[in-house]
Amino acid sequence: MRSIMTILAIWAAGLGAAAQFGKISILFADLEAHYAGAGAVGIGVMVSVVGMVGLVFGTTAGLAVARVGPRRAILWALALGAVVSVVQAVLPPYPIMMASRVLEGVSHLAIVVVGPTSIASVAPKHLQGAAMTLWSSFFGLSYAVLAWFGPGVVAIWGDAGLFLGHAGWMALCFAALWVLMPRDAAVTAARSGQGLLAQHWAIYASPRLGAPAMGFLCYTVTYVAVLTLLPGVVTPGWGGFIAVAMPLVSIGVSLTLGVWLLSRVTAVALVQGGFGFGIASALGLWLFWGTGLAEAVFALGLAGAVGIVQGASFAALAQLNPAPEDRARASGAIAQLGNLGTTTGTPLLALILTGAGATGLMLFLIGFFVLGIAIHAVQAGRRARAV
């Protein structure tokens, strides 16, 4: 029972980490009005700077967590996240607000590195796939909850209410994990004979440490881009439905069909299967482009496919890396390449849609899905030869 409660508390911390993005998105218009001199671009940077920290320091964070221990790292991250949200509640001058967002990026990165590492460690063997899939849902679910409840909170308690509510959530997660998380084992500076660049190279060169992140990149570069841009280019009248339904279908399929399949096939095989179904869905979306209902059906099929990839990618991290310190390194790589995908995917797809329309969208999706299958096939072959 304690392990289940610990998993749920870590997942709750993940929801809080995702809200570090979502709270600014919800308040975008209010913040643009308050920081009038910054303009929309300045507020856009305020949203994205949290992810930029992960893009630059993701793998470094994985190395750091492996050294200081997951319990210590996530507790410090939650405390920092709570304090930063309190500061943001007073809407300080723009430079101070941006500095707080950089610190929030550090908090966010530590949580998303520790989360899958710790869940994989405390989950019973028969629940590990389900637990890792649950973790993978934190980002989409947090955004959906904020979109549903956030405006009401702001209407009653103002912008400060949302920031202080987030601070309270982070503080509650801190208290729960202070009680529930096991003490960190004594750690040493693993691979201390290597320099930082050499340690990065060792992660991405490893067919176990680097494989989940490389496949995850092919997911993130497509998913966020499609969620952002597809509703605006489909048949008029269907965009709103697709915008709401796609993330819900993605989460639902991951937590149901994805968990069931993980009890029957390896996580890597399921990632490849999800990419394969994504290829079929992308072809269907292209063939039925502009038809309304059929177009929406294939869009939801695409969402379900990438939902399976999302959950199975985190399960692969645990299956391929049984040692906690290796999971921390692999998790840091997922954070780094995941942020690379979310940062580059949307502008790349926007450019492709402008020049090539639906055909460009189809080729964009299929290209990255085929690449994801190929990466895992190559890495599986390398693992087999190393045995």
Quick one: DSSP state of residue 258?
I
81 pLDDT exceeds 90?
Answer: yes
Task: Average the pLDDT over 80-102 and give the result.
Answer: 95
Let me know if residue 298 belongs to a domain: yes
- CATH number where 131 lies: 1.20.1250.20
Residues 315 and 366 in one domain: yes
Task: Average the pLDDT over 331-357 and give the result.
Answer: 86
Residues 247 and 368 in one domain: yes
Count how many domains the chain has: 2
Helix (H) or strand (E) segment spanning residue 119: helix 94-122
| pLDDT tens digits, one per residue of 173-185 | 999 999 998 887 6
- Of 188, 181, 190, nearest to 75 by C-alpha is 181
Give the model's pLDDT for residue 365: 96
What's the burial of 36, exposed, middle or buried (CB within 10 Å: 0-12/13-18/19+)?
exposed
Residues 299 and 248 in one domain: yes
Token output for 201: 């190279």
Helices (H) and strands (E) in the chain, counts: 14, 0
Residues 284 and 332 in one domain: yes
187 pLDDT exceeds 70?
Answer: no
Are 25 and 50 within 8 A, CB to CB? no
CA–CA gap between residue 222 and residue 148 (Å, rounded): 25
Residues 378 and 242 in one domain: yes
What's the burial of 174, exposed, middle or buried (CB within 10 Å: 0-12/13-18/19+)?
buried
| pLDDT tens digits, one per residue of 220-265 | 899 878 887 888 888 898 988 888 888 889 889 998 999 999 989 9
